[in-house]
A and B are shown apart, each in its own frame.
Chain A
Amino acid sequence: MSEANAEKIDDVLDLRGVMCPINFVKTKLHLETMEDGSVLEVHLDDGEPIVNVPRSVKDEGHKILAIESEDDGSWYKLIVRKT
């Protein structure tokens, strides 16, 4: 987690309320618009979104830096470095 705290966040994408797999598709498309090495923070709901999206993003070749639980796990911050 400390790794992410040290990172400068370049962009934030709030995908709370967005269902699978649309949330993943939006994340992927957003990452495509960003520079290599820059960092995106994605807000995801608990449940399916947080279980599915991080791994799908990793499988696209990006680096997951951290996953942070917010408001007692009711939603999450996914910190990704575009790779």
Chain B
Amino acid sequence: MTEDNPELEGLEARLETESKALHVNLNELKSGGYIKQRQKDKFTIRLRCPGGAMSVERMRKIAEVAEKYAEGRVHLSVRQSIEILDVDIAHFDAVAEELREAGQDIASCGPRVRVPTACGGCEYNPNGLMDTQAHALMVDEKFFGTECPHKFKITFAGCQIDCPRARGADLGFVGQVEPELVPAECTACEICVKRCEDDALVMVDGLPVRDIEKCTLCGDCVKACPFDAMIQGQAGYAIWVGGKGGKKMRLSDHILDMAQEEDVEGLIQKTLDWYIANGDKRERIGRTIDRVGMDDFKEEVLS
């Protein structure tokens, strides 16, 4: 996967000259998703596809542009965005312009908030508990491109199966639900007890009782109950912070359960504020937390 492009900086002087001639917006070039390829003068242009969903109309436009200005090949980035391969520098402007007309923007690279990723969530996935797609769009609109000490990736997973690996992102949201028992509907069939992988349910006097210390709010019991007895209560997000891949991976830390939809934006804002205030240049937030301290982070962000 092409992620960073330090070579781009070396090209700056040349691009400055060429960009003037070509009317390329150099700022856009530096912040945007233009990734230098090994082939001379060829770039990969990464598009902004939050949550990895789009209309086929837009897809057709992307296909058209890829055929017209490049070799007609695209690559799907690991973070759900379409990348047009083999674009010559000379076509940067035309590509960006034509795509923008169709409502398709270019992504960002470098030290800033990247395009958020998300699974189908409750919009169309039977396991989904939260509207991950809507939240990815919100993040894209409000935070995309925000300058940070280093790259900052936000991911939404509809449930704890965590297909999009929110627990490996700088900031990850994982859908949760509080199961609620309606005793009158319970037939004591014990299916919920069998289903619970965390041994959080035990039958007491003919009813399943939940150990809230053990319960991870996964919702499996709700999905398994064949009567209307174990039902979905309040849903929310578990928040995970500080994950990263790269040469030295770091697992995310779990900092909060059941964050509500209306708190998502504020949590992201506070996390970014803390990161920008405390992070060293080219330091991912997980490392900043290791250096400055989780207590400090939590005090700022969660209080």
Q: Measuring CB to CB, which residues of chain A are less than 8 angstroms from any residue of chain B?
A: 1, 46-47, 50-52, 54-55, 57-58, 64, 66-67, 69
Contacts and interface: CB of A to CB of B under 8 A. Distances in A.
A57 B187 contact: no
A55 B220 CA distance: 11
15 contacts: A1-B187, A50-B194, A51-B194, A51-B224, A55-B191, A55-B224, A55-B225, A57-B226, A58-B226, A64-B227, A66-B187, A67-B189, A67-B191, A67-B226, A69-B190
A19 to B, nearest CB: 17
Contacts of A55: 191, 223-226
Contacts of B195: 51
* Most chain B beta-carbon neighbours within 10 Å: one of A46, A51, A57: A51
A51 B189 CA distance: 10
9 A-B pairs with the lowest CB-CB distances in the bound complex, closest first: A54-B226, A67-B189, A64-B226, A55-B226, A58-B226, A51-B195, A51-B194, A55-B224, A51-B224
Contacts of B223: 55
A1 B190 CA distance: 13
Contacts of B187: 1, 66-67
A8 B226 CA distance: 21
Interface of B: 187, 189-191, 194-195, 223-227
A29 B225 CA distance: 22
A57 B190 CA distance: 17
Contacts of B224: 51-52, 55
A68 B194 CA distance: 15
B200 to A, nearest CB: 15
A57 B224 CA distance: 11
Nearest to B223: A55
Given A51-B224, A52-B224, 13 more contacts: A46-B194, A51-B194, A51-B195, A54-B191, A55-B191, A55-B223, A55-B224, A58-B227, A64-B227, A67-B187, A67-B189, A67-B226, A69-B190
Contacts of A1: 187
Contacts of B191: 50-51, 54-55, 67
A68 B223 CA distance: 20
A66 B185 CA distance: 12
Contacts of A54: 189, 191, 226
Contacts of A69: 190
A64 B189 CA distance: 11
Nearest to B222: A55
A27 to B, nearest CB: 12
Nearest to B227: A64
Nearest to B126: A59
A53 to B, nearest CB: 9
A50 B192 CA distance: 10
A55 B226 CA distance: 4
A66 B191 CA distance: 12
Contacts of B194: 46-47, 50-51
Contacts of B225: 55
A28 to B, nearest CB: 14
A58 B190 CA distance: 16
